[in-house]
A and B are shown apart, each in its own frame.
Chain A
Amino acid sequence: MPFEIPFVQIVWWAMTACAIGGAIGVVSSNNLFHSALFLVLSLFGVAGYYVLLSAGFLAVVQLMVYIGAIVILVLFAIMFSRRMMKPTEDEMNRQWLVSVIVAAALFSWLIVVVNSVSWPVTSAAPTADTVLQLGLAFLGSYLIPFLVVGVLLSAALIGAIFLAREKVEAEEI
Chain B
Amino acid sequence: MDPQLVTDLVVHTILIVIVATLLMGGFAAMTVVERKLLGRFTLRYGPNRVGKFGTLQVIADMFKMFFKEEVVPDHVDRAIYLMAPGMALVPAMLAFAVVPIAQAPFVLPFEVFGYTITVNPWIADINVGVLYILAIGSLGTYGVVLGGWSSNNKYSLLGGLRTSAQMLSYELPMGVALLGVIMLAGSLQLTQIVDFQNAWLGLRWFILFQPIAFIIFYICSLAEAGRAPFDLPETENELIAGFATEYGAMKFGLFFGAEYIHMIVVSFIMATLFLGGWSGPFATQVPLLGIVYLLLKVGFILFTMIWVRASTPRVRFDKLMKFNWKFLLPLSIANAAVTALVAGVIFF
The bracket for how many chain B residues form the interface is 20 to 34
- A97 in contact (CB, < 8 A): no
- Could you tell me if A72 and B131 are in contact, using CB atoms closer than 8 angstroms? no
- For residue A69, which residues in chain B have a CB less than 8 angstroms away from its CB? 138, 168, 171
| B188 proximity list for chain A (CB < 8 A) | 131
Number of A-B contacts (CB under 8 A): 79
Bound-complex Cα distance A37 to B143 (A): 12
Question: Shortest CB–CB separation between residue B42 and chain A, in angstroms?
Answer: 30
Q: Is A84 an interface residue (CB 8 A)?
A: yes
Evaluate whether A84 and B128 lie within 8 angstroms (CB atoms) in the complex, with A7-B5, A63-B138 already known.
Answer: no
User: In whole angstroms, what is the CA distance A57 to B152 when docked?
Assistant: 37
Q: Which of B135, B148, B171 contacts A60 (CB 8 A)?
A: B135
Q: A68 to B3, alpha carbons, bound, how many Å?
A: 36
Question: 1/0 per position for A82-126, CB-CB distance to B under 8 A?
Answer: 001100000000000000000000000000000000000000000
Query: Which chain A positions have C-beta within 8 A of B141?
Result: 68, 72
Q: Give the residue of A64, A72, A73, A84 whose beta carbon is less than 8 angstroms from that of B134.
A: A64
A residues less than 8 Å from B152 (CB atoms)? 84-85
The reply to whether the CB of A49 lies closer than 8 angstroms to some CB of chain B is no
Across the interface, name the chain B residue whose C-beta is closest to A47.
B135
Quote the shortest CB–CB distance from B5 to chain A (angstroms). 6
Q: Is the CB of B138 within 8 A of A76?
A: no
| Chain A residue total in the interface (Cβ 8 A) | 29
Q: Given that A1-B1, A68-B139 are contacting pairs, would A76 and B165 also be in contact in the complex, using a CB cutoff of 8 Å? A: yes
B77 partner residues in chain A, CB cutoff 8 A: 33, 85
Q: Tell whether, in the assembled complex, residue A68 and residue B80 are in contact, meaning their CB atoms are under 8 Å apart.
A: no
Residues of A within 8 A of B161 (CB): 76, 79-80
* Distance between A149 CB and nearest chain B CB, rounded to angstroms: 18
Interface check B238, CB cutoff 8 A: no
Q: Across the two chains, which residue of chain B brings its CB closest to A4?
A: B1
| Residues in B neighbouring A33, C-beta threshold 8 A | 77, 80, 149
Pair A76/B131 contact, Cβ less than 8 Å: no
In residues 40-77 of chain A, which contact B (Cβ within 8 Å)?
A: 40, 56-57, 60-61, 63-64, 67-69, 72-73, 75-76
Q: Which residues of B contact A64 (CB under 8 A)?
A: 131, 134-135, 138
Main SS at interface, chain A: helix
The answer, yes or no, to whether B145 is at the interface (CB within 8 Å) is yes
- What is the 8 Å Cβ interface bit string for chain B, positions 65-99, against chain A (1 contact, 0 not)? 00000000001010010000000000000000000
Residues B168 and A72 in contact, CB atoms below 8 Å apart: yes
* A60-B132, A64-B135 known; A173-B318 Cβ under 8 A: yes
Instruction: For residue A12, give the distance in angstroms from its CB to the closest CB of chain B.
Output: 15
Q: Looking at the assembled complex, report how far the CB atom of A90 sits from the nearest CB atom of chain B, in whole angstroms.
A: 19
Selected from A60, A61, A72, the residue in CB contact (under 8 A) with B145 is A72
Q: Which residues of A contact B339 (CB under 8 A)?
A: none
Given A7-B5, A131-B128, do A75 and B139 touch, yes or no (CB 8 Å)? no
- Determine whether A5 belongs to the interface, using a CB cutoff of 8 Å to chain B: yes
Instruction: Establish whether residues B168 and A73, one from each chain, have CB atoms under 8 Å apart when the complex forms.
Output: yes
Flag whether A129 is at the interface (Cβ < 8 A).
yes
A42 to chain B, nearest CB (A): 15
Which residues of B come within 8 Å of A, CB atoms? 1, 3, 5, 75, 77, 80, 126-128, 131-132, 134-139, 141-142, 145-146, 148-149, 152, 157, 160-161, 164-165, 167-168, 171, 188, 318
Residues on A close to B: CB < 8 A? 1, 4-5, 7, 33-34, 37, 40, 56-57, 60-61, 63-64, 67-69, 72-73, 75-76, 79-80, 84-85, 129-131, 173
In the complex, given contacts A72-B167, A173-B318, what are 17 additional A-B residue pairs having Cβ atoms less than 8 angstroms apart? Answer: A33-B77, A33-B149, A60-B128, A60-B132, A61-B135, A64-B131, A68-B137, A68-B138, A68-B139, A69-B168, A72-B138, A72-B142, A72-B164, A75-B164, A79-B148, A79-B160, A129-B127
